[in-house]
């Protein structure tokens, strides 16, 4: 599910920079620049907000196994039913907005984020299949897309320095599954006509 990717991406950035939130770009921008007053949202600086303002893009090249049949990814034992994962591949662009009260702080945060993504570009995402009660776990590359772009504004006498930078996950798999029932036990009854045993002419009836 999309939220699994959003959570995993946010938690990865948060592990480097604790003051990170996942929130709508417009809301954070307006609160940061004192354009609106939202009592439940108090911002501290420097901070990072993450969002997908452009949504996501569905990739066109989907093979039959991905769309219809699915691929085998979960089986408890040889005699159990198993789950096939069908998926849609998408590109997920994540915009990181960095806010600070000084240009120096802003530069420090954006430099550290770029360095971190350059070294630790893997994202592990777990999607839980409720139907089969199994987890589908995959690792994805986080790739640079664009930025940083200077978006600082000074409103109402308040100085907030602002950079935005975009990273993306290409070919992210959004999973849905189906259960396939397989044959567990095959039994065969064999009847032998006893009157033909002495004649070496055995008739088998199955």
Residue 160 Cα distances to 4, 24, 53, 132, 203, angstroms: 31, 18, 21, 48, 93
Report how far residue 124's alpha carbon sits from residue 139's, in angstroms, rounded to the nearest whole number: 4
* pLDDT, tens digit, 9 for 90 and up, residues 31-57: 877 777 777 778 899 999 999 988 888
pTM (2 d.p.)? 0.76
Domains defined for the chain, CATH in brackets:
2-205 (3.30.2000)
Pairing between β-strand 191-192 and β-strand 122-129 as defined by DSSP bridges? unpaired
Between 77 and 112, the more confident residue is 112
Summarize the confidence of residues 83-108 as an average pLDDT. 90
The label of the residue with tokens 């789950």 reads 83
């Amino acid at each position: 599910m999309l939220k699994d990717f959003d959570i995993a991406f946010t938690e990865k950035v948060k592990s480097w920079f604790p003051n990170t939130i996942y929130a709508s770009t417009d809301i954070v921008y307006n609160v940061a620049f004192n354009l609106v007053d939202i009592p439940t949202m108090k911002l501290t600086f420097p901070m990072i907000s993450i969002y997908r303002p452009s949504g996501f893009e569905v990739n066109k090249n989907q093979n039959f196994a991905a769309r219809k049949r699915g691929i085998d990814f979960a089986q408890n034992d040889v005699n159990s039913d198993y789950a096939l994962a069908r998926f849609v591949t998408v590109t997920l662009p994540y915009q990181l907005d960095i806010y600070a009260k000084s240009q120096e702080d802003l530069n420090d945060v954006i430099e550290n984020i770029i360095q971190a993504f350059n070294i630790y570009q893997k994202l592990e995402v777990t999607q839980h299949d409720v139907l089969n009660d199994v987890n589908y776990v995959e690792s994805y590359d986080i790739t640079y897309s664009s930025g940083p772009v200077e978006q600082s504004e000074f409103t109402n006498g308040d100085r907030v320095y602002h950079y935005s930078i975009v990273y993306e996950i290409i070919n992210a798999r959004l999973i849905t599954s189906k259960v396939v029932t397989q044959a567990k036990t095959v039994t065969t009854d064999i009847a032998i006509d006893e009157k033909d045993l002495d004649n070496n002419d055995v008739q088998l009836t199955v």
